[in-house]
Amino acid sequence: MTQTVLEITGLNVDYGVGDQAVRAVRDVDLTLRRGEVLGLAGESGSGKSTLAYGITRLLPPPGVIRSGSVRYHPVDGDPVDVMALTPAELRRFRWAETSIVFQGAMNSLNPVHRISTQLLDVIKAHEPDMSAPARLARARELLKLVGISADRMDSYPHQLSGGMRQRVMIGMALALEPQIVIMDEPTTALDVVMQRQILGQLAELRERLGFAVLFITHDLSLLVEFSDRIAIMYGGRIVEEAPAAQLYRAALHPYTEGLLHSFPALRGPRRALTGIPGSPPDLRAMPPGCAFHPRCPRAFTPCDNELPVLGAPADDHPGRSVACWLHRSLESR
Amino acid sequence: MRFLLQRVAFYLFTAWAAITLNFFIPRMIPGDPVQSLISRNQGRISADAIESLRVLFGLDENESVWEQYVDYWKQLLQGDLGLSFTFFPAPVSTVIGDSLPWTVGLVGITTIVSFLLGTALGVGAGWRRGSWVDALLPATTFLSSIPYFWLGLVAIAVFAGPGSFFPSSGGYEPGLVPAFDQYFIPSAIQHSLLPAATILVSSMSGWILSMRNMMVTVSSEDYITVAHAKGLSERRVALSYAARNALLPNVSGFALSLGFIVGGTLLVEIVFSYPGLGYQLFQAVGSKDYPLMQGIFLIITISVLVANLLADVAYLLLDPRTRKS
Ligand SMILES: Nc1ncnc2c1ncn2[C@@H]1O[C@H](COP(=O)(O)OP(=O)(O)O)[C@@H](O)[C@H]1O
Ligand SMILES: [Mg+2]
C-alpha cells in the first residue's frame, strides 16, 4: 500500500474578500502519494496555479485561503498541519520538504546574482552547520544532476539558455532532497524538443531520488505520458481523478473527454480533433449546478441546478472518482 | 569594457564640444567687454593680464581664429580661466576654487544623505506596504512639491528670526577667517543646517517614492516568489533579492544627481546667500562677469559629464546583464 505524503482536504482559495471575491479554488480534496507523479490538468484559468500557491502558502495578495487543511506526512514523525505552521516553521518547511518549479521559470532566477549564489543560499539557509566547501560540492553535484557542467556555477542567469535556466531550477528544487516537488507548467515556455528532454530527465531523477511530483499543466498530452495519476480541474474544482492510463483510455467526465480530443492521439487509431466548444466559466458568475453544463454535449436534467460532488462513479471503476451526474446513480443525489 | 570605452569617447567628444562653444560664445557678444574693463581699471591692469584677456575673448587682432583657438586650449590646460571682472584682479580659477568647497560640502553631503536615507525608507515602505513609512508618504510628497524658493523663504521666516539659533544667510559668522579651527568649523556647520534641512525636505521624497515603487514592482517578480518558496529569511529576500534589484534604476539617478550638485544649487545658495558656486554664478550674471560665468559653466559641464560616466560605471558594476563577456 502506497503511503500518502500530502493530503489536501476541503481547500478553498479566494482572491479578495466579500462579495467581489473570486473563488479560484473550491472544495478541493487531493491526495499525493509518496514517490508518484500526480498530474493536474485543466484549461488556463481553472485554478491550478492558485492551488499550488495555496498549498505552499505562497499566495500573492489579494489571495487568501478561506478554509481547508493541508497535511504533510514526513517519512518519519507525525503529520504536519501546513496551515498551522508559524512563520519560522514555515520557512524551515519550505524547500526542505516541498520545493517548487514555477510557471515563469524563465524569471525564477535573480538576474543580479550568480547561479552559485542562488544555489548556495538555499542550502545555507536550511543547513547552517554545513561547511562552505561541502555546500559548494553539493551545489556542483546538483548542476551535474541536471546535466549542466559545474563551470556554469559562476554564470549569471542571462548567460544561460532558457532550457538551462529551467534545469538549474529543477536542480535547485532538489537541493534539500524534498519529499515533494511541485511543478507549475515548468516547460510551457520551452520548445518541444527541450520539453521532452527535460521531462525525460525529470522522470529519471524521480526514479533515482524518489520524490513525489505534483505536475501542473494545461497540456493533458504531457501528463498521459509522464504521470501515474491525473486530476482534472475545471472552474476551481477537481472534476475527475484517475490513473493516467485509465483516464486516457476511458475518460468519465465529458470535460476530460473534451480535453483529450484537443490534442492528437499519441498512439493507436486517429481521433477526431474537436476541442471544447464555448469558453471557460467566469469565476465571479459561475453557472448553477455543474459548472461545465453550458458547454457539455451530454448535459441532462439535474446538471443545470444540482452540483455533482466528486466521488466514486456508480458504474464500477475502482480507484477513480468523478464529479458528473452521468456517473451517479439517482439514489445518491 | 568596450561599452565603457565607447561612453568615455562620447563624453570626451561632448566635453570638447562644450569647451569649443565656450570659446566661441564670447566672440559673438556685441561690444568689447575687455575694453570697458580696461578703461574701468585705468592703469591698474598689467600688460600680461590684458594679453590673457585678449586671448580669452579673441580680441587679438594679430591672430587668426584658429591660432586663438589653440591659445585658448593652451591656457585652459594650464588651468587658466582668465581674470574675474568683479573680483579683479583675482583669476577665475581662484574664485571658483574658493566657492566650490562650500557647494560640494553643503549640497554634496546632503545629496548623499538624502539618497541613502530616502532609499532606506523607500525599501521599508515598499516591502511593508501600509507601515508607518507608507503613512509618511503623502506628507513628504506635499513638502517636495512646494517650489524650493518658497520653501527656503518660509524656512528662513519661521526658523531664522533675530535671536534664533539658525542664521538666515551666509556660510559662516562674518568676521571669522576661514580655517579648520574651533571657531570657524562650528559656525560653518551652524550656517549649513537650515539650507541642508530644506534640501533634504525637498529632495528626499523623490528617492523614497521611486525606491518604494521599484520595490513594489520587483516584489511581484517570479524570483521573489521563488526566494520566499526557498524559505530564505525575510531579511535576505527583502535586501538581497528585492532591494538589490530595485536599486538599479535609482543608482544611476543618484549618479546623475551628483552632477547637478554644482549646477543645481543656484536657488539654495541665492535664498541663503550661501557663498557657493551657484551664488557666485548669480552674482556673475548680475555684474556681467563673463570670464567667471564661462569658468562656472565649464565646471558644471564637466561635473555633469563625470556624473554620467559614474552612472554608467555604477550600472555596469551592479547589473551583470550590462556586462558583456
Ligand atoms: N491576483 C489575482 N487576483 C484576482 N484574481 C486572480 C488573481 N490571480 C489569479 N486570479 C484568478 O484566479 C483564477 C485561477 O487562476 P490560476 O490559478 O492562475 O489558473 P491556472 O494556473 O489554472 O491558469 C483565474 O480565473 C484568475 O483570473
Ligand atoms: Mg497557471
Model confidence at A173, in pLDDT bands (50, 70, 90)? very high
The candidate with the shortest Cα–Cα distance to B114, out of B216, B213, B261, is: B261
Q: Are A169 and A232 in a shared domain?
A: no
Domain residue limits at A149 = 108-177
Residue A155 lies in a domain: yes
Last residue of a domain, one of A234, A269, A304: A269
Whether A104 has its CB under 8 Å from any CB of chain B: the answer is yes
Residue A162 lies in a domain: yes
Q: Are A155 and A240 in a shared domain?
A: no
Q: Are A191 and A80 in a shared domain?
A: yes
**Ligand at shortest distance from the CA of A42:** 1
ipTM of the complex: 0.92
Average pLDDT over residues A249-276: 80
Residue A134 lies in a domain: yes
The single residue listed with the C-alpha cell 547637478 is B260
Residues of chain A with Cβ-Cβ distance to B239 below 8 Å are none
The β-bridge partners of A213 are A37, A181
What's the pLDDT score for residue B161? 75
* Cβ neighbourhood burial of A56 (10 Å; 0-12, 13-18, 19+): buried
**Ligand at shortest distance from the CA of A286:** 1
What's the pLDDT score for residue B136? 81
Contact A95 B231 (CB under 8 A): yes
Ligand 1 atom nearest to CA at A216: 21
Average pLDDT over residues A14-23: 91
Residue of B nearest to A157 (CA): B321
Rounded Cα distance, B201 and B189, in Å: 18
Whether A203 has its CB under 8 Å from any CB of chain B: the answer is no
Q: Are A199 and A159 in a shared domain?
A: no
Which CATH number is A239's domain given?
A: 3.40.50.300
For residues B258 and B111, the answer to whether their CB atoms sit within 8 Å is: yes
Last residue of a domain, one of A177, A193, A214: A177
Residue of B nearest to A105 (CA): B222
Cα–Cα distance list, A331 to A225, A300, A314, A318, A327 (Å): 37, 16, 10, 20, 12
Question: Number of folded domains in chain A?
Answer: 2
Range of lowest pLDDT (A6-20, A67-81, B118-132, B160-174): B160-174
Check whether A271 has a pLDDT greater than 70: no
Q: All domains of chain B, ordered by start, with CATH? A: 109-285 (1.10.3720)
Count Cα neighbours of B115 within 13 Å in the Cβ-side half-sphere: 17
What's the pLDDT score for residue A1? 47
Check whether A320 has a pLDDT greater than 70: yes
Residue A62 lies in a domain: yes
For residues B248 and B162, the answer to whether their CB atoms sit within 8 Å is: no
pLDDT digits (tens, 9 = 90+) for A41-92: 999 999 999 999 999 999 998 999 999 999 999 998 899 999 999 999 999 9
Range of lowest pLDDT (A282-296, B14-28, B231-245): B14-28
Q: Are A16 and A74 in a shared domain?
A: yes
Residue of A nearest to B246 (CA): A112
Check whether A191 has a pLDDT greater than 90: no
Residue A5 lies in a domain: yes
Report which protein residue has its CA nearest ligand 1's atom 6: A15
- Selecting from B228, B236, B318 the residue whose C-beta is nearest the C-beta of A58 gives B228
Q: Are A28 and A158 in a shared domain?
A: no
Ligand 1 atom nearest to CA at A51: 17
Whether B290 has its CB under 8 Å from any CB of chain A: the answer is no
Q: Furthest-apart CA pair in chain B: how many Å?
A: 82
Q: Are A93 and A229 in a shared domain?
A: yes
Residue A333 lies in a domain: no
How much is the CA Rg of chain B, to the nearest whole Å?
24
Range of lowest pLDDT (A20-24, B86-90, B115-119): B86-90
For residues B131 and B212, the answer to whether their CB atoms sit within 8 Å is: no
Average pLDDT over residues B177-206: 86
* Residue B92, SS3 per DSSP: helix
Contact A125 B321 (CB under 8 A): no
For residues B320 and A158, the answer to whether their CB atoms sit within 8 Å is: yes
Last residue of a domain, one of A177, A211, A230: A177
Q: Are A83 and A117 in a shared domain?
A: no
Does residue A46 line the site of ligand 1, with CB under 6 A?
Answer: yes
Residue B311 Cα to chain centre, angstroms: 14
For residues A115 and A153, the answer to whether their CB atoms sit within 8 Å is: yes
Prediction pTM value: 0.86
Residue A172 lies in a domain: yes
Q: Are A90 and A212 in a shared domain?
A: yes
- Residue A159 C-alpha cell reads as 548567460
Residue A103 lies in a domain: no
Please tell me which of A96-100, B96-100, B138-142, B148-152 the model is most confident about, judged by mean pLDDT. A96-100
Residues of chain B with Cβ-Cβ distance to A96 below 8 Å are 231
Q: Are A24 and A43 in a shared domain?
A: yes
Rounded Cα distance, A8 and A29, in Å: 5
For A38, the enclosing helix (H) or strand (E) is: strand A37-41
Q: Are A68 and A124 in a shared domain?
A: no
Check whether B171 has a pLDDT greater than 70: yes
The β-bridge partners of B273 are none
Check whether B61 has a pLDDT greater than 70: no
Q: Are A242 and A261 in a shared domain?
A: yes
What's the pLDDT score for residue B283? 87
